[in-house]
Amino acid sequence: MQWYSIMFGRMLKPVVGITILTCIVACASGQGDSQVETKARISNWNSSVQLEVKRAIAEHLSRTKIKLGGVDVDNAHIIPVLPTGLSEYDGMSFSKPELFYVFLENDACILRNELQDIRIALPGIRCLPA
pLDDT digits (tens, 9 = 90+) for 103-129: 999 889 999 998 888 899 999 999 999
Q: In the chain, what is the straight-line distance between the N-terminal and C-terminal CA atoms, in Å? A: 62
Mean pLDDT of the chain: 77
Question: Is the pLDDT confidence value at 93 over 60?
Answer: yes
Exposure of 58 by Cβ count < 10 A (0-12 exposed, 13-18 middle, 19+ buried)?
Answer: middle
How would residue 22 be classed by pLDDT, with cut points 50, 70 and 90?
very low
How would residue 95 be classed by pLDDT, with cut points 50, 70 and 90?
confident
Residues 12, 15, 20, CA angle at the centre, nearest 5°?
A: 125
Question: Is the pLDDT confidence value at 33 over 60?
Answer: no
Which range among 2-16, 41-55, 74-88 has the greatest average pLDDT?
A: 41-55
Quote the DSSP letter at residue 120.
E
Q: For 11-21, what is the mean pLDDT?
A: 50
How would residue 3 be classed by pLDDT, with cut points 50, 70 and 90?
low
> What Rg do the C-alpha atoms of the chain give, in angstroms?
24
Q: Give percent of the chain above pLDDT 70.
A: 69
Question: Is the pLDDT confidence value at 23 over 70?
Answer: no
